[in-house]
Structure formats: C-alpha cells, structure tokens
A and B are shown apart, each in its own frame.
Chain A
Amino acid sequence: MKVTEEELCRHSDSVNEQLARYGVKFGIYKGGQFHEQLFPFDVIPRVIGHEEFAYLERGLKQRVAALNAFLGDIYSDRRIVADGVIPEEFVFSGSGYLVQCDGVSPPGGVYSHISGIDLVQGKNGSWYVLEDNLRIPSGASYPMIARELCMRSIPSAFTGGIVDNRNYPELLRHVMDYVNTGGHSVILTPGRFNAAYFEHSYFAERTGARLVTCEDLTVENDRLYFIDYSGRKEQVGAVYRRISDEYLDPVNFNRESLIGVPHIFDIYRKGNVAIINAPGNGAADDKGIYYFVPRMVKYYLGEEAILQNAPTYLPFYEDDMRYVLENFGRLVIKDVAEAGGYGVVFGDKLSAKEKENFMAMLKAEPRRFIAQEVIDFRDIDIYEGGKRVPRKADLRAFVLTGEEPVVWKSGLTRFSRNPDSFIVNSSQGGGFKDTWVMKEGY
C-alpha cells in the first residue's frame, strides 16, 4: 500500500479538481443563510481487508435484521415490551415513535431499506457501533463518485484487488423495485437547499428514478401519481423520500407544514405505495434505543450480537445515573434528540459551573441523555499541507434491505480536520475518504 498511497497523494489536487468539476457539494446553513460548499476529500482511503469486512458484514446484517424485526414488533404486537426486554418509556416516549404507524405493515415487510450504521475502530482494532441511522442516512454518493474520479485520475492505483463500490445505484434500484407496488420509482427531495441535494440528484441520475419534489406528486383514487408537464399522470409505486416524517404528509403529520404530499401516508397505510425508509423508523434509531440493540439481536434472532456497542450508560437507570455522575469527567454525554454531531458534550471539556449545570439537567431529564465511554478510536492519516497527519475518523456502513439485508462493500469514512476533535460530521467541517474493501487474497 505504501507506494500506492504516495502515488495517491501526488494526485490529490487533480482528484479534488474533478470533484469540483462535478459539483460534489453539500449544503450548510450558517447564520440563517444557505451555503453550498465542496465536501473536502482526502485521497488516502480507509482500507479494510477481506476477512475484517466479512466480520463487519455479518454483524451489520444481523444488526439491521434485528432492527427491522424490532420496528415490525413495536408497530404491531409489542412483544419485546410485554416481555420486559425494553422498558416502554424508551419505546413510546421518543419523538421518533409515530402512533400513526401503529398496525401499518409496509410493502415487502421492510422498514429500514437503507440503514447507515456508524462505526469506529478502537486502537486495539475492535469495531464499535456508535449510532444506527434508519431514517434518511446520507453519504453513499460521495465515496462512490470519489472512486469513479480517483480511478480516472490515478488509474495505476486500482489494480484489481479492490472491490468495486460503484454498484450502489444497482443495489438501491433493486430495493426500490422489490417494494414497488406498481408504477414508477421516484426520489422525493425537499429541494436544492437541502444539505444532501447533490446526493438526491446524483442517485436519481444513476438509478434512473425520477427526482421529484412534493408539488410533482398527487394522491388520487388511493394511488400516487406524478404529473408531467403536459398534465399526464403516471402512477408511482415507490418513493425514496429524502424528507423527514414530519414533513412528509401535512394531513397526517405536521398540519402546519407547507410542504409534503397530502394523503400519501393514507395510501401507504393501505399498501398502495412503498415509502423508503418507512415512516416511524425513528423509534429504532433513537440514541436511547441504541443501548438495547444487542438485546434485540438476542430476543429476535436468538444470537449474541456480533458487533459491540460503545460502552453506554442510561441515566434513566439508577445505577447508571450514579456511575455517570461519579465519572462525568471522562464520559461523553449525548442528547438523544440531536443528530449531526450536535448535542454531544465531552465531560472533560466543561468548566466546573457548566458541569454542575449539566448534571442538574441530567438529573431532571434522565431519559433525554445517554453517556458513553470515550473510545480512543484509531487515527487514520490524511494528506494535508503536503504531508500526512493523523486524524480521527469513523465509518458509515450502508445496509440495503430488500428480500434480505445486503451490505455495500464500501462506506463513507468521515474524518475530523481538527487534530483535537472527535467530531467528524460534514456539517461541522469534517471531510471524507473513500473506503476500500479488499478482495480475498489481497
């Protein structure tokens, strides 16, 4: 790899020029204003060996199968609650749980069609799941187009040992087709001023699914239609929505919303259209529910979880609350309602006064927070200012579920550009890398 990495670094500028040429950007709001910016790409990939990825693949499939089973259960029989495996406070009081989804069975029986599982690798080589993203996980487009452009810029670096990751659109298309209830598959975007708009439009281009906004769709006679420019109506059978539950249907969710497709949820409930991912998935990727995922694996699949969670404490439990208060200075506390790297507090970074205030808040709202041991995750080199420097990085793995979960043999590796930070999110200045999964024997 050494020679290849050096060669890659020499071509860093040309790859980034290519990314700029194709407008590989993300949006960010600063001071209430929308800014479009290039997503900083580092040319040194994360490399995962064949055996190691096979282990991750087994663990990811198992985890997503359990999460899908959990969603099916809590929106129907609620056996896991009745059997006392997960306290009902954690299932039904989170904002992600939608009472409207009770008794609704999605087409194909799939809830989380596209799951983004965030992992980190500790310094001892162990992998830990940090977060499950089952609502609208984004990011697969970036390593995919980066691979394409790296292969163009540095063809000699790709000698055949790396699994080609450019099949993501086929995997996505397969999922859409699998659950499609009849008609076109579309990608529903909130519009250009969404942070991940590049991804929406790129997936539409690469999957052949039509990119639509809410005003292009209408519900009539219990079916969903796309209206074309001549007024013709074409039936739609699958909607890969990149718009949150709250804004999906103003009749059934946020009645004050000016966007959304009125009554789309009604026909989804009748099985007349597939919504990807299913509404209500937030009940399973809440940071509080995360704690219970290994228990779900055991409960639904009768297996021990292959992938470990980061050591996590729930202040909701008395023993955990005591532990968290005693060890506050070395833990990371996360607000379960926040995402994107927000609502994350490192105990050792707070002043005495801030610590006191935070602990009071913790005691007042124990369900709102989780606490985790800070995992000193393995650094990965990035190429910066003409030299290689180590930075913290995570991995978002993507699992696509149609008939069964399939793990995309790549992933989005995000890194912190700040040497002292563990926060890798693009919204907070992080960059990304490609993730190379090696073939057997390489």
Chain B
Amino acid sequence: MAILSCANSGRLFWLGRYTERVFTGIRALSGRSGAWAEAESKLCFDGKNPESLYCSLMYAYDNAIVLRDEIGSDTFSYIQMAVYEMNSARKSPAPMLQLQKVNDNIAAFWGMADDAISDENVRGIIKLGKRIERVDLYARGDAGNDEIRREVTRLTYRIEKTGLHYDPETLSALNELAEAEDIDRPEMIRKVESLVDFP
C-alpha cells in the first residue's frame, strides 16, 4: 500500500464525486430535445455557477491535475479530454454531441482508474466518492426506489472494501431507509452525506 497524504485522500474522494455529478447530470439531459432554454444552458455551462456541470468538471480537473502521480498520466488524460470536450460544448449549437463525449471520457477515466491504478486505496477512494455522489443525486432526483436501493447496495459493498473509517451506524441506517417501501429521501441525503468525513 502506497503512502497517501490526507490532502490527496480528500482530492481522490472529490474527484470521484465531481466526475459522477457531471456524468449523471449529462445523462439526465440526454432525453431532452429542441432548442436549449437559457436556464438550461446556465445549469450546464455557466462558469460562475458553482453548481453547473461545467464548474463541476473544472473541480474534478482541479483535483485530478494534482493527483497525476497517484492516478497516472494515462488516467489523468481522460479528465483533460473531458475538459476539452466541455469547452467545445459551450460553443456548440448542438452541445449534446460534445457532452456525450464528455461522458465517454469520464467513463473511460473510471475504467482506466480501475485498470491502471495499482493501489487499492487510491482506487477505492475514487469509487467511494462516486458511489456516495450517486446515491445523493438519485435521492435528490426522480430516480425510482429500486434504482436507489441498488446504488445503496453498491455503496455498502464498496465502503466495506476501502478500509476507510466510516460510521457503521449511519451505514446501517442508510440501508434501513433504502429497504422501506416509501424511501425518506431527505433523510437518505442527510445520512449519505455524513457517512464519511473527508476534507
């Protein structure tokens, strides 16, 4: 196991979260049709809105660029290419084409991270960030209960493999919430956000 600084463990976690935020955000847009409304463009591309997909990707990049030695140049390169595609999308009259490539690169990044990063902790922290973000996003959005249950199961499986410190009681509570017939989504968001404490 390689030595990993506290700052880098946090960066890996947020790299996982931000890539997932962009990926799921773009997927949610994929069924749309017609001209882009101004509000929709802002949600996607506004560089001043920290919640936009553009900003989320830039935050992922900000984390990735200081993790080159942890994740490797090949893995990093997919985040860099996603940024180039996002910049093209911002100027495009048909941005979904480039946004699709953003997601292609994020998917390739995850695949490469899984394949090329030898340190299990480094891999595990990225994946944990991704899983936590997905449960959070699904609980906030219109995902079905079965989808949320599946993601909670995957998160549970992942967190137990990372060897990281987490709150087992919160994890149990999260699973109990997921098993309920009518999921208490606000409570689920609170639980998943307090599962681990990263800077």
Contact = CB atoms under 8 A, between A and B. Distances in A.
B77 A21 contact: yes
A210 interface: yes
B54 interface: no
A442 interface: no
B66 A234 contact: no
Contacts of B29: none
A326 interface: no
A222 interface: no
25 contacts: A20-B84, A21-B80, A22-B80, A23-B65, A23-B68, A23-B77, A23-B80, A191-B66, A192-B66, A201-B68, A202-B68, A205-B72, A205-B73, A210-B3, A210-B69, A211-B68, A211-B69, A216-B7, A226-B5, A228-B3, A228-B5, A229-B5, A229-B6, A229-B8, A234-B3
Given A21-B81, A229-B6, A204 B76 contact: no
Given A22-B73, A22-B77, A227 B5 contact: yes
Contact of A226 (B3, B69, B77, B81): B3
A184 interface: yes
A213 B69 contact: no
Interface string A208-243: 001111011000000000111100101000000000
Nearest to A191: B66
Nearest to B67: A201
B66 A201 contact: yes
A151 to B, nearest CB: 15
Contacts of B4: 228-229
Contacts of B62: 192
Interface residues of B, number: 20
Nearest to A216: B5
Interface of A: 20-23, 184, 191-192, 197, 201-202, 204-205, 210-213, 215-216, 226-229, 232, 234
Contacts of A204: 68-69
Interface of B: 2-9, 62, 65-66, 68-69, 72-73, 76-77, 80-81, 84
B86 to A, nearest CB: 14
Given A21-B81, A22-B77, A229-B9, A205 B3 contact: no
Contacts of A211: 68-69
A413 B182 CA distance: 66
Nearest to A228: B3
Contacts of A202: 68, 73
B82 to A, nearest CB: 11
A23 B77 CA distance: 7
B interface majority secondary structure: helix
Contacts of B5: 212-213, 216, 226-229
Given A202-B68, A204-B68, 4 more contacts: A23-B76, A205-B69, A228-B6, A232-B3
Contact of B3 (A184, A191, A201): A184
Contacts of B84: 20
Contacts of A205: 68-69, 72-73
Contacts of B72: 205
A227 B66 CA distance: 18
B15 to A, nearest CB: 14
Contacts of B77: 21-23
Contacts of B6: 216, 227-229
The 3 lowest CB-CB distance pairs between A and B, nearest first, are A204-B69, A201-B68, A229-B9
A213 B11 CA distance: 14
Contacts of A228: 3-6
Nearest to B84: A20
A84 B65 CA distance: 51
A20 B76 CA distance: 12
Contacts of B80: 20-23
A176 B76 CA distance: 26
A305 to B, nearest CB: 39
B172 to A, nearest CB: 24
Residue from the set A21, A216, A226, A229 with the largest chain B CB neighbour count within 10 Å: A229
Contacts of A213: 5, 7
Contacts of B69: 201, 204-205, 210-211
Contacts of B65: 23, 192, 197, 201
Report which residue of A184, A216, A232 has the largest number of chain B beta carbons within 10 angstroms of its beta carbon. Answer: A216
Contacts of B76: 22-23
Contacts of A192: 62, 65-66
In this complex, the member of B5, B76, B81 whose beta carbon has the largest number of chain A beta carbons within 10 angstroms is B5
B64 to A, nearest CB: 9
Nearest to A204: B69
Contacts of B3: 184, 210, 226, 228, 232, 234
A234 B4 CA distance: 11
Nearest to A18: B77
B106 to A, nearest CB: 15
Contacts of B8: 229
A202 B65 CA distance: 10
A191 B62 CA distance: 12
A184 B3 CA distance: 10
A212 B4 CA distance: 10
